[in-house]
Amino acid sequence: MTDRPILTTTAGAPVPDNQNTMTAGPRGGVMLQDYQLLEKLAHQNRERIPERVVHAKGWGAYGTLSITGDISRYTKAKCLQPGATTPMLARFSTVAGELGAADHERDVRGFALKFYTEEGNWDLVGNNTPVFFIRDPYKFPDFIHTQKRHPKTNMRSATAMWDFWSLSPESLHQVTILMSDRGLPVDPMHMNGYGSHTYSLWNDAGERFWVKFHFKTQQGHQHYTNARGEEIIGKTREGYQEALFGTIDRGEFPKWTVQVQIMTEAQAEATSFNPFDLTKVWPHGEFPVIEIGTMELNRNAENYFAEIEQAAFSPSNIIPGIGHSPDKVLQARVFSYADAHRYRLGTHYEHIPVNQPKCPVHHYHRDGSMNMYGGLATGNPDAYYEPNSVDGPVEQPSAKEPPLKIDGDMSRYNHRDGNDDYSQPRALFNMFDADQKGRLFSNIAAAMGGVPGVIVERQLAHFKMIHEDYEAGVRAALESQHGYKVDTISATPTAAE
Ligand code: NDP
Ligand code: HEM
């Protein structure tokens, strides 16, 4: 006999035989009382949970945030003070593909971070891009519909994507990044991460500052062309998992330099662009980056499902000294994520170890399915309502963020009115060298195969507003890749495919 552990039922009783079903005679039938058989089959039927509605395919690891810079005059957050180190979890992802999608597809990459601070979990749920496709949260479900499968064909639809994008010029900045080299990073280590939204920092004196968070890869940027991506997918669909897991397993820990940009409330009144518009960056020349520390990933999960699939990130998770901003998309996300977790993981998703804060948790929510710890972790069974006279948990006024002056008439403001959707994509386009521009044109043309001419022309008109060369380059690539021609006689644009 070895000293191997004894196999048990989920109730802890030893299992006498895990090879042979209990039957009446050697030929069967099966005895209903063979509960271990029932339990094995029943558990197997419950091994899958809903995949994330977006960002389903992901790769994650644990690490540390180390603060070396001093931004204590902007924030009281303990995890952002000089010398602070905070354990954290990162999950990278593609947006559109399902759980079984190939890793090396052109897509925006999710860059979700959970910092287990002593003041509660702080989640920064960003992407590898500093901007996004939309600026009004009404558009998010529609946008995602265009990225997912067509309800009739059950295939992804280039027509739907470009129809939506061409009718939504605020997407131009993000579309340009997506179709540029950075739209297909070689792996999670060789790309930047961005908080993307404007958040806020606030200090003990009750002053608020607007902030952008950036995580700059120390491994350098590396990208694949579409052709190389296709070759890799032909060999492995799990290239990101292999790269991230492998590099940490070998002890080669990837690092990112953590930077912030800061804007005062007064400056925010005077910028030429809306600083809460998610389709815009803050130009570095006007708002220089301040280096504040390093993020390192140094530990793989022991169980992918328990720790990465069940990880629940939410922009609602902020801590004293860090706050949200009026960004409409951010405000909607404050609702959407915890709601998604309650559906995908269960009411008490924060009881799952990977999501548990590493500080004491005291609240008055009670009962509910999968409640592991009772409604209240006070050790006082009489304190199950509030206010009470039995020394139950009480609020902490110092955690209240400073007041924010808001004015204006309640209405539905057209988020496209007066917005310049072209200047920042132009600044990006002008940064690309001739080869980068060539790949941009070619990637866009490849993604437009089969799209009706009327949609193609609408999109080309937007590219022309960015730069004449942008439109001309994409048009030439459409011609060479798809034989695309504008029907000049009827003036009705047509597509050869
Ligand atoms: P800067 O010249 O100061 O900064 C340029 C930025 O562009 C750098 O952060 C660089 O990232 C990034 N960059 C370089 N190549 C690409 C690419 N192919 N795709 C996406 N980003 C790239 O200029 P500005 O701050 O005035 O911004 C000009 C344009 O740069 C913006 O309109 C925006 O499109 C883009 N950009 C700006 C950022 C910002 O926060 N200001 C952030 C990212 C992009 P890196 O440092 O990693 O090399
Ligand atoms: C995942 C909603 C915009 C980054 C998700 C999920 C939902 C969602 C429901 C799945 C959560 C889960 O099941 O665990 C929305 C809505 C948005 C929005 C409603 C806009 C109104 C954005 C933006 C970013 C972003 C702007 C980045 C700047 C992510 C990331 C994930 C994610 C990284 C994956 C998190 C993980 O790894 O678990 N989003 N999203 N989303 N979203 Fe968004």
Lowest mean pLDDT among 311-320, 371-380, 399-408: 371-380
Burial of 124 (0-12, 13-18, 19+ CB in 10 A): buried
- What are the CA-CA distances from residue 112 to residues 55, 62, 476 (Å)? 10, 12, 38
Q: Report the nearest atom of ligand 2 relative to the CA of 139.
A: 21
- What are the CA-CA distances from residue 330 to residues 99, 192, 276 (Å)? 25, 20, 9
- As a whole number, mean pLDDT of residues 451-480 equals 98
- The Cβ of residue 39 has, within 10 Å, a number of other Cβ atoms equal to 14
Q: Give 483 Cα–ligand 2 centroid separation in angstroms.
A: 38
Decide: 473 and 440 in contact? Cβ < 8 Å.
Answer: yes
DSSP 8-state secondary structure symbol assigned to residue 79:
G
Angle at 200 between CA 192 and CA 190, to 5 degrees: 5
Q: Which pLDDT does position 495 carry in this prediction? A: 43
Using most ligand atoms within 8 A of CB, pick from 109, 128, 284 the residue to mutate for ligand 1.
284
Mean pLDDT of the chain: 95
**Cα Rg for the chain, rounded, in angstroms?**
26
Q: Is 55 a catalytic residue?
A: yes
- Residue 337, marked binder: yes
Q: Find the ligand nearest to 277 CA.
A: 2
Angle at 237 between CA 232 and CA 242, to 5 degrees: 90
The closest of 53, 124, 122, 39 to 86, measured between CA atoms, is 122
Q: Which pLDDT does position 375 carry in this prediction? A: 56
Lowest mean pLDDT among 122-126, 337-341, 404-408: 404-408
Decide: 308 and 302 in contact? Cβ < 8 Å.
Answer: no
pLDDT band at 118 (very low <50, low <70, confident <90, very high): very high
Decide: 175 and 197 in contact? Cβ < 8 Å.
Answer: no
Measured from the CB, is residue 192 less than 6 Å from ligand 1?
yes
Q: Find the ligand nearest to 288 CA.
A: 1
How far is the C-alpha of 330 from the C-alpha of 425, rounded, in Å?
A: 22
Measured from the CB, is residue 344 less than 6 Å from ligand 2?
yes
- The Cβ of residue 477 has, within 10 Å, a number of other Cβ atoms equal to 21
- What are the CA-CA distances from residue 154 to residues 131, 144, 150, 158, 396 (Å)? 29, 15, 5, 13, 51
pLDDT digits (tens, 9 = 90+) for 188-243: 999 999 999 999 999 999 999 999 999 999 999 999 999 999 999 999 999 999 99
- The interface predicted TM-score of the complex, written ipTM, equals 0.98
Q: Which pLDDT does position 52 carry in this prediction? A: 98
Measured from the CB, is residue 55 less than 6 Å from ligand 2?
yes
How far is the C-alpha of 15 from the C-alpha of 110, rounded, in Å?
A: 43
Please report, for the chain, the start and end positions of each structural domain, with discontinuous segments joined by +.
1-42, 58-133+168-347, 420-482
How far is the C-alpha of 116 from the C-alpha of 165, rounded, in Å?
A: 37
Q: How far apart are the first and last CA of the chain?
A: 69
Q: Which pLDDT does position 2 carry in this prediction? A: 72
How far is the C-alpha of 161 from the C-alpha of 144, rounded, in Å?
A: 9
Active-site residue, selected from the candidate residues 121, 127, 192, 355 = 127
DSSP 349-391: GGGSGGGS-SS---------TT-SS-S-TTS-TT--SSS-SS-
DSSP 8-state secondary structure symbol assigned to residue 185:
B
The closest of 129, 133, 134 to 415, measured between CA atoms, is 134
pLDDT digits (tens, 9 = 90+) for 271-295: 999 999 999 999 999 999 999 999 9
Asked whether the whole model's pTM tops 0.80, one would answer yes
Q: Is the four-CA dihedral 299, 304, 306, 310 of positive or negative sign?
A: positive
The first and second tokens of residue 355, run together, are 């999501």
Using most ligand atoms within 8 A of CB, pick from 333, 335, 349 the residue to mutate for ligand 2.
333
What's the topology of domain 1-42? Cytochrome C Oxidase; Chain J (4.10.91)
* H or E element in which residue 436 lies: helix 434-447
Measured from the CB, is residue 342 less than 6 Å from ligand 2?
no
- 3-class secondary structure, 93: strand
What's the topology of domain 58-133+168-347? Catalase HpII,  Chain A, domain 1 (2.40.180)
- 3-class secondary structure, 323: strand
Tell me the backbone φ, ψ of residue 240, rounded to 5 degrees. Answer: -70, -40
Question: For residue 360, which amino acid is it?
Answer: P
How far is the C-alpha of 143 from the C-alpha of 171, rounded, in Å?
A: 10
The closest of 219, 325, 235 to 280, measured between CA atoms, is 325
3-state helix/strand/coil string of 98-163:
CCCCCCCCCCCEEEEEEEEECCEEEEEEEECCCCCCCCCHHHHHHHHHHHCECCCCCCECHHHHHH
Q: Find the ligand nearest to 426 CA.
A: 1
Q: How many CA atoms lie within 13 A of 100 on its CB side?
A: 1
Residue 391 neighbours by CB under 8 Å, 6+ apart:
380, 383
Residue nearest atom 44 of ligand 1, based on CA coordinates:
130
pLDDT digits (tens, 9 = 90+) for 388-431: 999 999 999 999 999 999 989 999 999 999 899 999 999 999 99
Q: Which pLDDT does position 487 carry in this prediction? A: 59
How far is the C-alpha of 232 from the C-alpha of 19, rounded, in Å?
A: 40
pLDDT band at 376 (very low <50, low <70, confident <90, very high): low
